[in-house]
């Protein structure tokens, strides 16, 4: 039987593209009888929402844009332009205009992210429905009604267990891309330390953000969420 993509209705060819949503319930903290440690137990449930390759890719773009939006706003605030705009730091009128222009630039990723989520952009690689639409899936609604909570476990057990989802078909290019991204992330991290020691703390902040973004990306490529 062909599985239908929950987000767009076309055929979901490989379970690897499925959206995996973990749930937990009945969290219990207990002391172990012999050695005193707190043992936390809970029940777990996983829903696989069928998804096609196109929506999988589109949701990847959506998540990357969300990360970029946050990074852009933090970078803007860290660069000192925000202080100039608000008048906390002394600035010339020209400096204020520049700070305002940079503010618009810093907000651009957020605007693009909202547009992608709302499916306003006519780009065929984007998903017609955003990632959150998975929460309207009947199986998800049912579990929610039965009192299950989102996430596969209480904090910090927020990772879906490895056996819960299908693994990406072995792909050398993908592994290579993951390794290169991780390497670039590591290089950015080293640059951060070098720049920080030399006193260029603003640039160092930028590289730290880049390192974080690259590590995030490489983990996505490796696991294929
Ligand atoms: Zn789809």
Report how far Cα 76 is from the mean position of its chain's Cα atoms. 20
- Digit-coded pLDDT (tens) for 77-133: 877 788 888 878 787 888 888 888 889 989 999 999 999 988 888 888 899 999 999
Q: What is the mean pLDDT of residues 159-174?
A: 79
Our CA dihedral for 176, 182, 185, 189, rounded to 10 degrees, sits at: -140
Could you tell me if 48 and 14 are in contact, meaning their C-beta atoms sit under 8 angstroms apart? no
Q: Domain boundaries in the chain?
A: 3-169, 170-217
What residues pair up with 48 in beta bridges, in sequence order? Answer: 20
For position 156, what pLDDT does the model report? Answer: 85
CB 222: neighbour CB atoms within 10 A? Answer: 16
Cα 127 to middle of ligand 1, angstroms: 6
> Is residue 135 predicted with pLDDT exceeding 90?
yes
156 three-state secondary structure: coil
- What is the pTM assigned to this prediction? 0.74
Q: How far is the CA of 129 from the centre of ligand 1 (A)?
A: 8
Question: Rounded to the nearest whole angstrom, what is the distance from the C-alpha of residue 222 to the centroid of ligand 1?
Answer: 21
Radius of gyration of the chain (CA): 22
Beta bridge partners of 38: 31
Please write the tens of the pLDDT for every residue from 18-77: 999 999 999 988 887 777 788 889 999 999 999 999 999 999 999 989 988 998 888 888
For 146, which DSSP code? T
């Amino acid at each position: 039987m062909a599985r239908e993509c929950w987000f767009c209705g076309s055929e979901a060819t490989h379970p690897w593209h499925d959206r995996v949503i973990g749930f937990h319930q009945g969290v219990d903290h207990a002391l172990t009888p012999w050695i005193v440690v707190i043992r936390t137990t809970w029940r777990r449930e996983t829903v696989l929402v069928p998804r096609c390759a196109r929506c999988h890719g589109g949701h990847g773009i959506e998540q990357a844009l969300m990360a970029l939006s946050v990074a852009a706003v933090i970078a803007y605030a860290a660069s000192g332009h925000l202080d100039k705009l608000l008048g906390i730091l002394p600035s010339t009128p020209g400096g204020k205009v520049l700070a305002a222009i940079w503010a618009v630039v810093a907000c651009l990723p957020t605007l693009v992210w909202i547009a992608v989520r709302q499916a306003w952009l006519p780009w065929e690689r984007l998903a017609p429905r955003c990632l959150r639409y998975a929460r309207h899936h009947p199986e998800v609604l049912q579990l929610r009604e039965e009192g299950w909570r989102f996430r596969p476990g209480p904090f910090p057990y927020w990772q879906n267990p490895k056996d819960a989802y299908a693994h990406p078909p072995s792909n050398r290019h993908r592994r290579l891309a993951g390794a290169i991204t991780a390497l670039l992330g590591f290089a950015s991290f080293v640059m951060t330390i070098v720049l920080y020691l030399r006193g260029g703390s603003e640039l160092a902040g930028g590289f730290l953000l880049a390192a974080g973004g690259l590590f995030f990306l490489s983990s996505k490529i490796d696991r294929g969420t």
